[in-house]
Amino acid sequence: MTEPRWSRNGRFFGCGTALVTPFTRAGDVDEGALRALVDWQIAEGIHYLVPCGSTGEAATMTPSEHRRVVEIVVEQTRGRVPVVAGAGSNDTRKAVSLSREMRDAGATHLLHVSPMYNKPPQRGIVAHFRTIADATDLPIIVYNVPGRTGSNIEARTTLELASLPNVVGIKEASGNLGQILDVLRERPPHFSVLSGDDAMTLAVMAGGGDGLVSVTSNAAPRAMAELVECGARGDAAATRDLHFRLAPWMQAAFVEPNPIPVKAALAMMGRIENVLRLPLVPLAEPHAAAVRASLVDAGALER
């Protein structure tokens, strides 16, 4: 039987966009802009969508807004691609509750970040994810991002979590290629390893990875999806060429904390209003020219 586009060799695969959440000038969720963004992402060939993560400013959403954003993405997707809903919390009970909310909202998968701020030991991280996995039947992708959480999920811990039946992969944003390669070397066959850093995708795919959850694909979905597809085919030259073309945008997208630059980029492209929720603020004007130039290099904007 033919696998869907978001599955390769029995593993979750592809480039998924960590969606921004468009807001109106009044500060409300901009449902029209969000629906249009979903349709455009799918038309451009993205493999799956990831609403309500850090790029989606989930930390500043009310519970009802969080659920509604996922419902909108599910409704607009209409089953065309998976919806991997952010459901993380540093309170395990809240993470369990939010997992059930996301299931009821129609998500196909869950993205669970390692507990932030608490800095649990590795056995606490295992206990956290085991409790969540026991409470839901949805597939779970673990998210390791020490730069935001304050603690790293070590390779041995990731491999222990991979033994849980519904933990199907990890979004790895540690920036530690050696650690990522350790996981790739010893993972079970079903377990997907996704880059959590756009700029690391070339190296992760070369090591046998299965794709990435991308910030930059908000503005350049087709090119980022093609980069992953080329990497999966083993076309090193094409993957490298795409990486080099996109590298200025990958750098500019993080010139200030995410999602400040990517929201500015989408506003330049006329796709959303450049509105963020405090404490995030719009891109500093001195960075605007570099962001615009990088979008031109990426083919996302005309000169």
Q: Is the pTM of this model over 0.85?
A: yes
Q: Which domain holds residue 117?
A: 7-235
Active site residue 143: yes
Q: What's the pLDDT score for residue 155?
A: 98
**Which of 94, 119, 171, 263 is flagged as catalytic?**
171
256 belongs to a structural domain: no
157 belongs to a structural domain: yes
The tokens describing 7, both together, are 């599955």
264 belongs to a structural domain: no
**Which of 48, 119, 143, 263 is flagged as catalytic?**
143
pLDDT tens, residue order, the chain (303 aa): 689 999 999 999 999 999 999 999 999 999 999 999 999 999 999 999 999 999 999 999 999 999 999 999 999 999 999 999 999 999 999 999 999 999 999 999 999 999 999 999 999 999 999 999 999 999 999 999 999 999 999 999 999 999 999 999 999 999 999 999 999 999 999 999 999 999 999 999 999 999 999 999 999 999 999 999 999 999 999 999 999 999 999 999 999 999 999 999 999 999 999 999 999 999 999 999 999 999 999 999 988
88 belongs to a structural domain: yes
74 belongs to a structural domain: yes
Give the chain's domain count. 1
266 belongs to a structural domain: no
Closest CA to 25 of 293, 276, 278: 276
240 belongs to a structural domain: no
Active site residue 94: no
The DSSP annotation for the chain comes to -PPPTTEETTEE-EEEEE----B-TTSSB-HHHHHHHHHHHHHTT-SEEE-SSTTTTGGGS-HHHHHHHHHHHHHHHTTSS-BEEE---SSHHHHHHHHHHHHHHT-SEEEEEPPPSS---HHHHHHHHHHHHHH--S-EEEEE-HHHHSS---HHHHHHHTTSTTEEEEEE-S--HHHHHHHHHH--TT-EEEESSGGGHHHHHHTT--EEEESGGGT-HHHHHHHHHHHHHT-HHHHHHHHHHHHHHHHHTTSSSTTHHHHHHHHHTTSS-----TT--PPPGGGHHHHHHHHHHHTSS--
CATH of the domain at 150: 3.20.20.70
34 belongs to a structural domain: yes
Sheet (strand 167-172) strand order: 48-50, 14-18, 211-214, 192-195, 167-172, 140-144, 109-113, 84-86
